[in-house]
Every structure is written in C-alpha cells, then in structure tokens.
Amino acid sequence: MTEFAAAAMASGAQLRLRQLTKAFGASQAVDRISLDVPAGAFVSLLGPSGSGKTTTLNLIAGFLTPDAGDILLDERSIADVPPHKRNIGMVFQSYSLFPHMTVAENVGFPLRMRTRLSRQAARQRIDEMLALVQLGHLGTRYPRQLSGGQQQRVAMARALVSHPRLLLMDEPLGALDKKLREQMQVEIKRIHRSVGTTVIYVTHDQTEALTMSDLVVVMHQARVSQVGTPRVLYEAPANLFVADFLGDSNLLTATIAHVSGDELAVEIGNGEKIRAARGTSAAAQGSRTVVLIRPEDISLTATDERTAGQDVVAGTIKDISYHGDTFKLDVALGADMLKVKVPRERGAGMERGQKVFLTWNSSVVRLLPAADRTSDASGEDAR
Amino acid sequence: MSATAGRLGLSAAVLAVLIYLIFPVIVVVAISFSSGNFLVFPPPGFSLRWYESIAGDPEWVNALWVTLKVGSLSALIAVLLGVPAAFALVRHVIPAKALLSALILCALVTPPIVTALSTYLFFVPLGLVNTVVGLACAHAVSGMPFVVINTSASLRSADINLERAAVIHGAHPLWAVLRITLPIISPGIVIGAIFAFVHSAHELLVATFVLGGVGKPVAVKIWSGVQATSDPTIAAASAILIGLAIFTFASAAATQSLAKRRTA
Amino acid sequence: MTALAEPRAAPLLRPALSSRGRMLPALLLLPCLAWITFFFLAPLVLMCWRSLASEGFSLEPYGVLFTSPLFTKVMITTVRTAAITTVFALLLAYPLAYALTVSGGKVRALILVFTLIPYWVDIIVRSFSWLILLGDNGMVNKALMALGIVSAPLQMLYNPFSVLLAMVQILLPLTTVTLFGAMLRIDRTLITAAKIHGASEWHAFRTVFFPLSLPGVYGAGLLVFVLALGFYVTPALLGSPRETMIAQTIMVEASQLLDWPQASAAGAVLLIITTSIAAIYNRYFSLDRLWGGSDK
C-alpha cells in the first residue's frame, strides 16, 4: 500500500460503508456493500454499467437514501444527514457548471452556501483553487467559453474550495477524448496529492482505475467483487469476474491433477499437465478449477527451447494482429485458445498456421474458484 | 412504382391536405377585413369597420376582458398545481404512476358537454355559477394537463446534475430547485401556461353553463352571434382569437429560442 | 471476497428512513390531484347521482333513454359520424405524418407549423368558415358554376357531408401529430435494410413500415374516435336536425328542457362510453405517451 503524507491523513476523512443496500422496485442496485476507506486514499469504484457503482456514489452523496445499512464519515453516521449538509465535494461527468455564473462565481459557490467568509477571504480562496487547477487567468470567463478539460478543472476547483474531507467523482473524464483523458488523469492525481482529501472515483475504465488509485473496489451485480491495490487485483484476482474484467486474460478450465506441499499441477483441456501457483485457494485433487494466465506472461518460440522447471506446450497460431508496440496472437491448444502478447520484434516473424511452443513461469499460473457468486456463471475459456 | 413518382405523389397529397387545413382559417381572416355586409368570400373590398364596431361595442370589450381574466387565472392555477405534479411524476418513484398520469390527463378526453353539465350541477349549490373565479377553477382542470406535459418534457431533458451540483456544495434543495432548475425549465412551463390560456379562451360549453349570462366570455358571445346574425362582426371577433393564437404561438417560439441562447 | 479491513463491529442494520423523503412526492402531487378530484371528479359523480335520484332512487331516466327512439337514433348517428370521421382523418393524416417522418429539419418544421396552426384556431371559427365556403353563395359553388360543372348551387350545407368535412378538418392536426409521434419510434434502418436486400421503395413501405405503423394508427384512431363522439359545435352549426349528435341532445335537455335527470343520464351514458374507450387506449398505448411521456 502506498504511503500517505501526514498532512493527507489530516485533511481526508475516513469513510465506512456498512451493509449498504438499495433497491429500485424489483431490481437490487446495491446489495449489502461494506467498505472501509482509509483517510486520504484515492479509491476507485470500478465495474461495468449496472454494477451499482454510481448508485453507491449517490448514496454516499445523499441523493439517494439507503434501504438499509449505514455510511460513516470519520466514524460518525451521515445516513440521516441531508446532502447539502454533508460537506462533501463532487464532480460530475457533464461538469455541471452553472451556466449563468462566471468561473470565479462557480468556484466560489460552496463558500457562499456553506461559509461566512468575507468577500476578501473568499476571493483569496478562489484564487488559490484556480491556481491549483492552473486556470488562474480564466476567472471572469463563462463555462460555455471553456473547453471540456478546462470545465472539468473548474468543477474540481469548485468541489475543493471549501476544503471538504471527501471528494466524489462520477466518471469525470467520460466525456473527454483519449489524449485529454490521460492528461487529466495526471492532473487529478497531482491535485489529490496536494490537497490530501479522500477521493471516491467511479469509472468503468479499468486502465484509469489501475493507474490512478491507491485502492480499487471492483463491483459486479450490486456487490463488491474484490477490494485491493491495483497490483493485487491484477496479479492476484480472487475470482473469475475480476480476473476477466481487468486486463486481457486466458481462463482455462482445468482439473487439479496433483497437490503436494507447495506444488500444484492441473490438467488442462488438451490433457497436458502444467504447474500452477498454489495461491490461497483450497485445492483438492480431482476438483474442477479455472486457471488464469496473462497473455503478456507467455513466451513464444518457434522451436522447443524448454528450460528445466518450465512447462512448455505446443500449439498452432490461428490469428495474429499488430498493435504497434506488440503483436497479439491467438494460439490453439487442442480445444483451448490462448491469447498471447509478445513484443514487436518477437512477433514479427510469426505467421498464421505456424506451430509454436508456449512457455511461462509456473508462478504466473493462478488458480481461481471454479464457480463464484460474484463471477459470470460461465467458467468458459478465454474468448 | 418508382421512387420519384411516389415522392411526387406524397408531396401532392401533403400539399392538398395542408390547403384543406389552412384554407378556412384564411377565409375567416379575409372576411373580417371585408367591406361587404354579407359573409361572402372572396370579400368585395378591404375595410376595418368590423374591428371598429367590436372595439366600440362595450359588450364585446367586456367579453374580451372576461376571457382574459378567466384565461389568466386558470393558467395561473394550472401552473401552481401542475408544476409540482410534474416534478413528482418525473423525479420520484411513485406507485401507480401511470394511473395518476391518466387521471391528470383524463380531462382532455372527456366530452366537453359532460364536463359542462356536471360542473354546472356541482357549482349551483356552491354559488360558483356566474362567477369569473368559478369558470377559472373549472378551466384550470383542463389546463393542467398542458402544464404537466410540457413541464415534464422540459424536466426530462434538463440535466439533473446541475441541481445536484448545487445541493452537494451546500445549497438547500428547495433553493436549488427554485434558483437552478426552475429557470432552466421555464420555457416548458411558459408553453404549458400558454396552451392552458388558449384552451380556456376557446372553450365554449363549460363557459356557456357557468358564465353564459351577463359577463360572458368571447367564445360564448361568438357562438350566440354565429347562430343569430350574419354580419362579419363575428368574423372579426374570430380573427381576434386567431390573432391571439398566432401571438401565443410566436411567443412560445420566441421563449424557446431565448432559452436556447442563454444556455448555449 | 476480501474487504480491505473487515468491519470490526457487527454490521449496523438501520431500517429505511427519512419519512420526509417518502412524503415529498405525495405532497407535490396532492394539490393537483385534490383540485382535479374536487372540480372534475366530484361533479361527474354528482351528475351520475342526479341521473338516478330525482324523487328518490329511480332508474327511470335511463329507461326513458333506452326506450326512446330519438335517443337511439341520435346515438347511432353519433357513433356513425365519429367512425366515419375517424376513418377519413386517419386516411388524410397518414400521408401527412409520413411526410413529417421522412422530411428533414426545415421541411418538417414548415409542415408541422402549417399542421398545428389550425389547432389553435377555435372550433367555432373553423366550423364557421365552412359555412362561408360551402354556402349557396360560397366560393366552392361559385367556382363550380363558373367552371360550368353545375348550373345551380349545390346544397352542400346542413347535411352529413358538411359535418364530416369540418370534423375531419378539425381533428386532423391532432391525428397527424399523434401518428407522427408513433411513426418516429419506428426504426428507419429496417427500411434501409429492406431496400439493400432488393425491395423497391413501395415494397419496403408496404411490408416493413406500414405494418409497424399499425399500432400507432389504432392508437390515434381510438383517440380521434373518443374526441369525435363528444363534438357539439360542428354538428350544431353545419348539420341539419337529422345529423344531431349526442352532445346537442344533452345540451337541449339541460339548457332548454331543464330536465336535469334526463340530461344527466345521457351524459352518464356518454361518459361511460368514452371512459371505456379511453381505458382501452390507456391499457395498450398509455395516455401520456401521446405527448412524449416515457414508455410504460
């Protein structure tokens, strides 16, 4: 876990969700979600649409009232506190800047509503905030005169001007194009480090979540699928859904062939046995399981160059696509199809129909539970 | 059948239907400016005498005043009651929403004679017959659907996050509705109010029963005139109502473009 | 499922809350519904009550109604007129609505304006204008005689023809707009797909667009029929006594004969008919869809 500046701890609130539940008619939007967010952390709620992440955010904000459960800010329950009294900042996907107010007036809005700062003091705060988001010279403009990225920065300044201890962000970069999105991601992180407030960031873009967050909460079908740092989620997913949702993955159904101490071997579709990392899952010989191998962890050679301690399987290239810095190949292994990602020089000589040898470190072969409440019901192979 | 032949056929049909729709309106307006005595079209010459006779006739002027009073009051009531209802229907989850919607709209599909008769029977013991207020209250019922429909449409297309942005940053929810959302949806409200007003100005049967005597509105006066005399005064009065319709139409369009310019 | 730090205390389950939140929609709707109940529903109930109780409870007015040959004739005339009006209104509105659907922005706006302006002219005026046009000295007769088609003016007024002509014209804007709304919801890419696979313009229309538009046609038809049933001004002004429709009968009973129970009974019958039809409409099409409400 990344370290937080002492100052950050002081200016961000600790957030706890306890068995938060919300249904709309017959459909369960949020199902008994519990979460502990450390003070000052940048936490992403990541998931496909319909997973409940926006509903959760709206519950934290107070726009929706929970059917059951509690929300605690700095150990004090706020579930009964109306949204305008929660002292939270929020940024929306559509920026939601007040069109009839100037940038400075927009940013100063929370001060007018929440505080009794003198005009001078307010002016100073507004200037501070505008400087923080690097828009100091645009105070007298109107929102419609600004670009999308600038408007979003004004929205951030407005959200932070009254020094809230919690900042909510609802897919704020969804309306921006790729280049601008990446720039803004860096901006947002920089601002977060300066201000130190706790951030809850909703997104469906896993790259965004992985690059920006201290913690990621993967949500699926109204429940929390897994919570962890980006590395843990990517390299040690706890279930099928997380393994499949983050990054490219090869998911192979297999049967546990052999367990002894730290060693584990599974039998995959074409009958071959490969070694796997034990992980934390209980593994009984003969039981069905799913193994995860990331495409970039697989090495591809034209000839059998196996070294001791590595598993090698043979397959045939079914398809190759060029991605600039890498080649992505589909390699058939009996009934299974494996996705392999290789650097450009590696893939340059390969052709469709070619027989190749795949190899990897056994530590990258991870076991996943075969069937999971929080995963898609299919334990299908990748593709 | 080739595509162009079909297209030409369609255009011809459309044009014919449009002429069928518009022509009578043109006829009435033309006759109102007629210098002749009879209801003859095309009119023999141009004259403003029928408008002058209306302007000089205290009964007509009074009728116009009554129409204005009743129309404005009923539109006002429709707005005061209909706008909150629109908020409830659009923003909140309500059981039996479809049924409640239908209830609000059912005044529009009920035969006017039934509404008129029942309202009269109801008003007599209440002493509301022959009062401007009474008629306005009755007209407000049929004005409400227009306000609810148009306000709802505006609300649905308005960005709710603007209101939320205000609230989360400290504004009281009511303040946010009044100062942020209401200005944004005001074109919808205004259009609904205009529709309600025009509907009241045109309404005949309820007005006949409730206020058909001394202080009758224009629609009732036109109706009795149409059955009695045959001079173009009626046409002039009708043309005034047409002018009213066009004016409200134009103001509605102007309100729309003004609002668009402000939030562009 | 690993939470970063498992909650130390037992989960606090709180029951649903803020009664204020629950009450708000009701408070917003209440004034509107109360007003409608008081100024619209209550009178209707009263009217039905009056139809039953003149000197104590009695179904006599209904008895008179259903055995009266006059009433039967008027009802038949009303239903027949409304039905024919509906058919013609649909026939004329369909091409207009179709043109609106396929037209681009400016043309569409223009047609829409022309279609809607008459809607804002009141019924009396629109019926009245036909009086002028169709009279013995009216423009139509003058044109016909000038062209030599007839030698004496045709009697075009005070008959079913003039009533229908005016009623269709009056109901046309609403029919068109309703049909237009329904047609907009048809996925036009289906027609493009049909044409790509070899269908001619007409064939694509006949086999793809038209069947998909039928629900809209039925919906608009139901609506127009209900409205036509209640017409008063047009048949009164442009029809002869033989074309009397039910609204006129009720008016006479009420304002001239002052026979309240009888009038109320006729009103109740008319109300039940229109309410039933509107209920059928609502079941399949939802009233607020007419004006762009969200789909049920």
Q: Specify the number of domains making up chain C.
A: 1
Q: Residue C214 and residue C183: Cα distance in Å, rounded?
A: 9
**Inside any domain, residue A375:** no
Q: Which of C182, C172, C171 is nearest to C98 (CA)?
A: C182
pLDDT at C110 over 90: no
Residues in chain A: 383
Say whether both A76 and A167 belong to one domain: yes
Q: What is the mean pLDDT of residues B68-89?
A: 94
Q: What is the mean pLDDT of residues A280-305?
A: 81
Pairwise CB contact (< 8 Å): C12 & A215: no
Say whether both A250 and A216 belong to one domain: no
Picking from C42, C129, C246, the nearest residue to B28 by CB comes out as: C129
Chains in touch with C (3+ beta-carbon pairs under 8 Å) read A, B
**Inside any domain, residue A256:** yes
Pairwise CB contact (< 8 Å): C2 & A19: no
Say whether both A201 and A267 belong to one domain: no
**Inside any domain, residue C12:** no
**Inside any domain, residue C14:** no
Pairwise CB contact (< 8 Å): C35 & B81: yes
Say whether both A213 and A229 belong to one domain: yes
Residue of A227, A229, A231, A373 to mutate when probing chain C, most C C-beta within 10 A: A227
pLDDT at C291 over 50: no
What is the domain-level CATH number for residue C227? 1.10.3720.10
Say whether both A284 and A160 belong to one domain: no
Q: Which of B83, B40, B32, B60 is nearest to B191 (CA)?
A: B83
Pairwise CB contact (< 8 Å): B164 & A84: no
pLDDT at B176 over 50: yes
What is the domain-level CATH number for residue A142? 3.40.50.300
**Inside any domain, residue C11:** no
**Inside any domain, residue C52:** no
What confidence score (pLDDT) does residue B2 get? 61
Model pLDDT for residues B1-46, shown as the tens digit of each residue: 566 777 788 888 888 888 888 887 788 778 778 777 666 677 777 8
Pairwise CB contact (< 8 Å): A18 & C7: yes
Could you give all domains of chain B from N- to C-terminal order, each with its CATH number? 58-263 (1.10.3720.10)
In this prediction, residue C1 has a pLDDT band, given cuts at 50, 70 and 90, of very low
In this prediction, residue A278 has a pLDDT band, given cuts at 50, 70 and 90, of low
Residues 66-125 of C with CB under 8 A from B: 92, 95-96, 98-99, 111, 114-118, 120-125
Q: Write down the mean pLDDT value for chain B.
A: 85
Task: For residue C15, give the chain A residue with the closest CA.
Answer: A68
Q: Beta strand pairing status for A336-343 and A326-333?
A: antiparallel
- Which is more confidently placed, B94 or A110? A110
Model pLDDT for residues B108-162, shown as the tens digit of each residue: 889 999 999 999 999 999 999 999 999 999 999 999 999 999 999 899 988 889 9
What confidence score (pLDDT) does residue A10 get? 54
Largest CA distance in chain C: 103
pLDDT at C129 over 90: no
Q: Residue B53 and residue B114: Cα distance in Å, rounded?
A: 35
Chain B: residues touching A (Cβ < 8 Å): 93, 159, 161-162, 164-173, 180, 183, 262-264
- Which is more confidently placed, C242 or A260? C242
Q: Is C47 an interface residue toward B (CB < 8 Å)? A: yes
Q: What is the mean pLDDT of residues A198-209?
A: 94
Residues of chain B with Cβ-Cβ distance to A94 below 8 Å are 159, 161
What percent of chain C lies above the pLDDT cut of 90?
24
**Inside any domain, residue C29:** no
Which of A191-195, A266-270, B53-57 shows the highest mean pLDDT? A191-195
Report cis status (omega within 30 of 0) of the bond before B42. yes
Indicate the residue among A178, A204, A235 that finishes a domain: A235
**Inside any domain, residue A376:** no
- Which is more confidently placed, B29 or A342? A342
- State the complex-level ipTM: 0.86
What confidence score (pLDDT) does residue B205 get? 93
pLDDT at A84 over 80: yes
Q: Which of C82, C77, C114 is nearest to C99 (CA)?
A: C114
Residues of chain C with Cβ-Cβ distance to B198 below 8 Å are 120
Say whether both A80 and A172 belong to one domain: yes
Note down the domain range covering C221.
58-289
What confidence score (pLDDT) does residue C260 get? 85
What percent of chain B lies above the pLDDT cut of 90?
34
Indicate the residue among A206, A235, A264 that finishes a domain: A235
Say whether both A178 and A44 belong to one domain: yes
Contact between A196 and A166 (Cβ < 8 Å): no
Pairwise CB contact (< 8 Å): C250 & B100: no
**Inside any domain, residue A64:** yes
pLDDT at A9 over 50: no
In this prediction, residue B84 has a pLDDT band, given cuts at 50, 70 and 90, of very high
**Inside any domain, residue A57:** yes
Q: What is the mean pLDDT of residues A48-65?
A: 92
- Which is more confidently placed, B30 or A211? A211
What is the domain-level CATH number for residue A314? 2.40.50.100
Say whether both A192 and A340 belong to one domain: no
Model pLDDT for residues C207-260, shown as the tens digit of each residue: 888 988 888 898 899 889 999 999 999 998 888 888 899 999 999 888 888 888
Picking from B24, B208, B223, the nearest residue to C126 by CB comes out as: B24
In this prediction, residue C6 has a pLDDT band, given cuts at 50, 70 and 90, of very low
Q: How far is A282 from chain C (nearest CA, A)?
A: 15
Token pair belonging to A85: 């009294």
Q: What is the mean pLDDT of residues A336-355?
A: 88
Give the count of Cβ contacts less than 8 A between chain A and B. 70
Q: Which of A220, A224, A271, A235 is nearest to A377 (CA)?
A: A220
What is the DSSP-derived secondary structure letter of residue C9? S
What confidence score (pLDDT) does residue A5 get? 42
Q: What is the mean pLDDT of residues A146-152?
A: 91
Give the count of Cβ contacts less than 8 A between chain A and C. 55
Q: Which of C199, C16, C176, C17 is nearest to C97 (CA)?
A: C176
Q: Write down the mean pLDDT value for chain C.
A: 81
- For chain A, give the secondary structure using H, E and C: CCCCCHHHHHHCCCEEEEEEEEEECCEEEEEEEEEEECCCCEEEEECCCCCCHHHHHHHHHCCCCCCEEEEEECCEECCCCCHHHCCCEEECCCCCCCCCCCHHHHHHHHHHHHCCCCHHHHHHHHHHHHHHCCCHHHCCCCHHHCCHHHHHHHHHHHHHCCCCCEEEEECCCCCCCHHHHHHHHHHHHHHHHHHCCEEEEEECCHHHHHHHCCEEEEEECCEEEEEECHHHHHHCCCCHHHHHHCCCCEEEEEEEEEEECCEEEEEECCCCEEECCCCCCCCCCCCEEEEEECHHHCEEECCCCCCCCCEEEEEEEEEEEECCCEEEEEEEECCEEEEEEEEHHHHCCCCCCCEEEEEECHHHCEEECCCCCCCCCCCCCCC
Pairwise CB contact (< 8 Å): B246 & C291: no
What confidence score (pLDDT) does residue A155 get? 95
Pairwise CB contact (< 8 Å): A68 & C2: no
Say whether both A229 and A257 belong to one domain: no
In this prediction, residue A213 has a pLDDT band, given cuts at 50, 70 and 90, of very high
Residues of chain B with Cβ-Cβ distance to C35 below 8 Å are 77, 81, 140-141, 144
**Inside any domain, residue A374:** no
Q: How far is C8 from chain A (nearest CA, A)?
A: 10
SS3 C53: strand
Q: Which of A235, A98, A194, A210 is nearest to A154 (CA)?
A: A98
Q: Which of C212, C206, C205, C153 is nearest to C187 (CA)?
A: C212
**Inside any domain, residue A383:** no
What confidence score (pLDDT) does residue A374 get? 40
Token pair belonging to C192: 């493009």
In this prediction, residue A18 has a pLDDT band, given cuts at 50, 70 and 90, of very high
pLDDT at C45 over 90: yes
Pairwise CB contact (< 8 Å): C274 & B109: yes
Task: For residue A163, give the chain B residue with the closest CA.
Answer: B169
Note down the domain range covering A149.
6-235
Pairwise CB contact (< 8 Å): C17 & A80: yes
pLDDT at A35 over 80: yes
Indicate the residue among A212, A235, A258 that finishes a domain: A235
**Inside any domain, residue A26:** yes
pLDDT at A204 over 70: yes
Say whether both A14 and A156 belong to one domain: yes
Residue of B92, B159, B168, B178 to mutate when probing chain A, most A C-beta within 10 A: B168
Say whether both A163 and A62 belong to one domain: yes
> Residue with structure tokens 């407000």?
B140
Say whether both A61 and A173 belong to one domain: yes
